[in-house]
Amino acid sequence: MKTIIFAMTLFLISAGVAFGQTETAKSPGSKIVESLTKEEISLTIPRVGVDVDRVALDNGLVIYLYENHKLPLFNIQTLIRCGSVYDASEKDGLSDLVGTVMRTGGTKTITGDSLSMLMEYIGGNLEANIGGEKGTVSLSVLSKDADLGLKLFVDLLRNPAFPQDKLDLAKIDIKNNIKRRNDSPGSIVNRYFYNMLYGDYPSGRVLEWASVKNITAQELADYHRRFFTPNNIMIGIYGDFSKTEILAKLRALLADWPQAITALPAPPEVEFKYHPGVYQIRKDLNQSSIMIGQLGIKRNNPDRYAVRLLNYILGGGSFTSRITSRVRSDEGLAYHASSNFNTDSRDYGVFDAECQTKSASTYTATSIIMEEINNIRNDGVTSEEFEGARNAVINSSVFLFDTPGKIINRLMSLEFDGLPPDFYNDYLNEFRRITLADIKSVAQKYLKPNQMTFVIVGNPDAFEKPLDEFGPVTNIELTEPVTE
Amino acid sequence: MKGLSILLLGFLLILTTVSLAQTGQIQLDVKKKTLSNGMRILVLENHAAPTFSAIIRFNTGSVDEHPGITGSSHLLEHMLFKGTKIIGTTNYEAEVPIMAKIDSLAHLLRAEQVKLLSPLNPQDSGRLKELKQEMANLQATEKKYVVKDELWDTYLKEGGTSLNASTSNDGTQYYVSLPRNCLELWAFFESDRLANLVLREFYSERDVVMEERRLTTENSPRRSLDEALSATVFWASPYCWSVVGWMSDLQTVMREDVEAYFRSHYSPANAVAVIVGDVDANQLFKICDKYFSKIPSQPAPPPVVTRDAPQKGERRTEIEYDANPMVYVGWPIPQIGHPDLPALEVAANILSDGRTSRFYKNIREKKLGSASASSDETRLPSAFTCTMTPFGQHTTAELEEAVYAEIDRLKTEKVSEWELEKVRNQKDASFIRSLESNRGLAFRISSSEAMTGDWRNFLDYREALKKVTADDIIRVVDKYLTKKNRSVAYIVKSTSNSPAKRAEKEIGR
């Protein structure tokens, strides 16, 4: 059993504080809750170089290792700097196809089908996926199969084949999704909302068959050659293995991979603009899907912590939050009513408030949401709400590092996202530094009710009142997606 | 740091390449105690992180309901977060007379709503409106005493995550993951809501559930099709209605109906509490004894006896919906404990799990569409189901044909030893992965204990899956997956919402 010494130890807030001074009336049961004595829990934050090893190969490939023998599992997680932010508009869908076909198409020495047979036979998983700003390749096998798994993983990472038949198959899947994109209100409202806010920036694009159908196998291979270079990749390994042995094997398999010199272009920038207005998309439903919002902040914004608490109180803290409490619990107008404020995005993220309510309460639910947004800007929040939100964030931090997978992923992601390795040491203190007044100030700074975009999917004939008081109304007809 | 309290016996000795026999030797050191009122407490220590996951599962789900109160198990799932005599209220005594008024008004409202159901009754929409306004006023008065979502709020402030509850046909479960120091808080809250539940804000929560039904069922093509398939496969069995219940029942079910259902079905002997994580078993048993033993014992809920008669021919249901075509097929299969279930599950795995499965190779890679099969262990006889989505211009009929061809092949040709071994290895590997999550383990242990009376049954079932032979598969597929026994529900795209159709309607008016 190894002993781990944690240099940085943070203590969580004990129960009493959470129920400190409050002006509102309390329940008899809350006194029992307060009377329960509780030991303090120290949060131990794993550190690079102590609990987790970091090794950089000469070719620039960075490896994180976390040896943990509790279960006979061997896992790899990989981060590759690539993604749809680099896709040209006329090649929309390229990154997604690379991720899919990389896995299904196999490598130059083993076909995708054989790879599937091997992995499924040993009960393992080997998957690849490319999202907005990163790609991932992951492996999970029993530790007795670690050598086989590692070889297949490296082969896939370095030598994917991108055969035409698997590309065609992946395109059929995308085509089917495009054809069905108007079947459910949730996918419609999201698509229009993000498109309104981001326009042709990759997060706002609507994937069309016209761009997908012309993507070639050669373009997939070129993409791989461009982005999958050792100095653009981080590998995290965790589970039941010997560190020294695995490092030797990794060096044997990866050290000869030549570094590429080309620097990546800067990704396109989001144009910060408001798009006020009400956009009604007609579909014959008995319930409206509503999204209201605007562009918000970038993750390097020092206000991100205050914004996170603001959103928790406004609509992000489930039942505890104002929008949920009023729209759902008080008025019974929705099952789901919430707000989200993305504070983790490299470029501008989105603030949105959303709910689904029967057609005849569309106006009412929308106005309650707007009332709450205006209230929090005008009056800020109570000290009870503020303490509650802060305690929830701080006390739940005990779950940040509760499994080996989370430990390796969080530490690797810090480096990948350009955040300092001691980010989490300061993380909780950031929340401790925020004051009640900060919440009101960020509400006023970042929530612009008069500039918001309203997207509603539903049947406007059945709304109890028109929505024109929220802005000029534009009606949008859904059209059959083109898949020829 | 102490190790996981899971004994890995001799596992290091068996590092051969083929069979994963070692997983059979993994033992879970689950400790179980039954309280004097019959409530079972199960604990599995895992000291990897200073947290624990807790779940209370009731062996009560939508199968325990009857027409008129369908959806009540799920509605109660919502109500259990509304507080008790001492939680969620500043003054319970003051609330009592208001709730009584709300209840009598609700009866008047219900009488009006019932009138609307029959054309024989005189209609008076003015009266309904008047009563609704009166109800809104009373609800506003009740709110003065409500401390909103206090249990939820407190759990979150203390750092709780994965806080929720869920209802299925077979059971209802309340769960949360908390820092280690919240054990007693958990026992207090959970025992209090069983002992002192108050169904406050019932009628506004009923509205929330109706919105949930619109969201998750009516406006979702997949779930609409699910609901149609269940109502086609099951004519008598309570699996015929969905967990959320029928809309007309939700509109008319009364607070006292749901309260009576709670009294009869949420007894301590019908509940299982499972805690997995950084706790001391003895201390946990002491705390549970202190809090949960106070709940009086009561008779077991009535058994569910309704079963479907043997099916006498294929059934087909067509749904017109503003969505692209899909088709779901179901065949009746026996309930949990029946020896044919493992072979049915392995057949489903061979058909549709992974990229080497038969549906993937012969349907998806041939670009016809996607298809999947599933078989489950359930409290009452349920269904083996296949769901299919055609690609492009292919039709649901083509997909059905392709799926039936694969099923027929299972009846005539033995599956390969490779396919069986693959399934066995996958069961073992996924079992080991499941040990990583306190919460996942708590779910497995609690559902097995609640449905079968012994948590170990899920381990035995896994062993039974590994013993399934090629002949077993031929036998069960031939026995259950027949044309006579199948029910088919499918979506045809309705174009009533197209601009052209709407224009037509306008002109017609």
pLDDT tens digit sequence for B307-336 = 999 999 999 999 999 999 999 999 999 999
Give residues 241 to 300 of B whose Cβ lies within 8 Å of A.
none
Interface contact B355, partner A, CB < 8 A: yes
pLDDT of residue B25: 61
- Give just the sign of the alpha carbon dihedral B236, B240, B246, B249: positive
* CA gap A70, A241 in Å, rounded: 11
Q: What residues have CB less than 8 Å from B30, skipping those under 6 apart?
A: B42, B43, B44, B445, B455
pLDDT of residue A116: 97
pLDDT of residue B7: 29
User: Cβ separation of B496 and A15 shorter than 8 Å?
Assistant: no
Span B454-500, pLDDT tens digits: 999 999 999 999 999 999 999 999 999 999 999 999 999 987 555 55
User: Cβ separation of B185 and A33 shorter than 8 Å?
Assistant: yes
Q: Give the confidence band of A484 by pLDDT, cuts at 50, 70, 90.
A: confident
Residue B46 tokens, joined: 């895992």
pLDDT at A22 over 60: no
* CA gap A388, B150 in Å, rounded: 12
User: Cβ separation of B8 and A72 shorter than 8 Å?
Assistant: yes
Residue of B nearest to A389 (CA): B157
Residue of A nearest to B146 (CA): A27
**A interface mutation test: which of B80, B89, B190, B215 has the most A CBs within 10 A?**
B215
Q: Which residue has the higher pLDDT, B375 or B19?
A: B375
The ipTM is: 0.92
- The answer to whether residues A320 and B149 touch, using CB atoms and an 8 Å cutoff, is yes
- Rounded mean pLDDT, A2-23: 39
Phi and psi angles of residue B385, each rounded to the nearest 5 degrees, phi first: -125, 150
User: Cβ separation of A72 and B11 shorter than 8 Å?
Assistant: yes
Residue A151 tokens, joined: 């070889």
- Rounded mean pLDDT, A138-164: 97
User: Cβ separation of A184 and B211 shorter than 8 Å?
Assistant: no
Q: Give the confidence band of B2 by pLDDT, cuts at 50, 70, 90.
A: very low
Among A41, A112, A356, select the one facing B50 at the smallest CB separation: A41
Residue of B nearest to A13 (CA): B158
Buried b (16+ CB within 10 A) or exposed e, A83-120: bbbbbeeebbbbbbbbbbbbbbbbbeebbbbebbbbbb
- CA angle in degrees (0–180, nearest 5) for B387-B322-B227: 45
Would you call B415 exposed, middle or buried from its count of C-beta atoms within 10 A (0-12, 13-18, 19+)?
buried
Residue B237 tokens, joined: 């069995």
List chain B residues with CB under 8 Å of A72: 8, 11, 22, 432
Interface contact A383, partner B, CB < 8 A: no
C-alpha distances out from residue A76 to A82, A242, B49, Å: 19, 14, 21
Interface contact A322, partner B, CB < 8 A: no
User: Cβ separation of A33 and B154 shorter than 8 Å?
Assistant: yes
DSSP H helices, B214-319, are 221-233, 247-252, 255-265, 281-292
* CA gap B506, B91 in Å, rounded: 56
The amino acid occupying position B119 is P
pLDDT of residue A167: 98
For chain A, the average pLDDT equals 93
On the CB side of A317, CA atoms within 13 Å amount to: 32
> What is the number of residues in chain A?
484
User: Cβ separation of B216 and A334 shorter than 8 Å?
Assistant: no
SS3 B167: strand
Span A461-471, pLDDT tens digits: 999 999 999 99
pLDDT of residue B492: 96
pLDDT at A134 over 60: yes
User: Cβ separation of B421 and A121 shorter than 8 Å?
Assistant: yes
User: Cβ separation of B147 and A26 shorter than 8 Å?
Assistant: yes
pLDDT of residue B21: 43
Span A341-399, pLDDT tens digits: 999 999 999 999 999 999 999 999 999 999 999 999 999 999 999 999 999 999 999 99
pLDDT of residue A263: 79
pLDDT of residue B275: 98
pLDDT at B117 over 90: no
pLDDT at A4 over 50: no
Residue of A nearest to B48 (CA): A402
CA distance B359 to chain A (A): 14
Q: Give the confidence band of B4 by pLDDT, cuts at 50, 70, 90.
A: very low
For chain A, report the end-to-end CA distance as a whole number of angstroms: 62
Would you call B362 exposed, middle or buried from its count of C-beta atoms within 10 A (0-12, 13-18, 19+)?
middle
Q: Give the confidence band of A320 by pLDDT, cuts at 50, 70, 90.
A: confident
Q: Which residue has the higher pLDDT, A182 or B11?
A: A182
pLDDT at A16 over 50: no
Interface contact A23, partner B, CB < 8 A: no
Residue of A nearest to B393 (CA): A176
Would you call B133 exposed, middle or buried from its count of C-beta atoms within 10 A (0-12, 13-18, 19+)?
exposed
pLDDT at A448 over 80: yes
pLDDT of residue A422: 86
Q: What residues have CB less than 8 Å from B260, skipping those under 6 apart?
A: none
Would you call B492 exposed, middle or buried from its count of C-beta atoms within 10 A (0-12, 13-18, 19+)?
middle
SS3 B46: strand
User: Cβ separation of B148 and A325 shorter than 8 Å?
Assistant: yes
CA distance A436 to chain B (A): 17
Lowest mean pLDDT among A36-50, A57-71, A320-334: A36-50
CA distance B313 to chain A (A): 32
pLDDT of residue A344: 92
pLDDT of residue A19: 40
- Give just the sign of the alpha carbon dihedral A463, A468, A471, A476: positive
Q: Give the confidence band of B11 by pLDDT, cuts at 50, 70, 90.
A: very low
* CA gap A146, A67 in Å, rounded: 13
Phi and psi angles of residue B386, each rounded to the nearest 5 degrees, phi first: -125, 135
CA distance A272 to chain B (A): 33
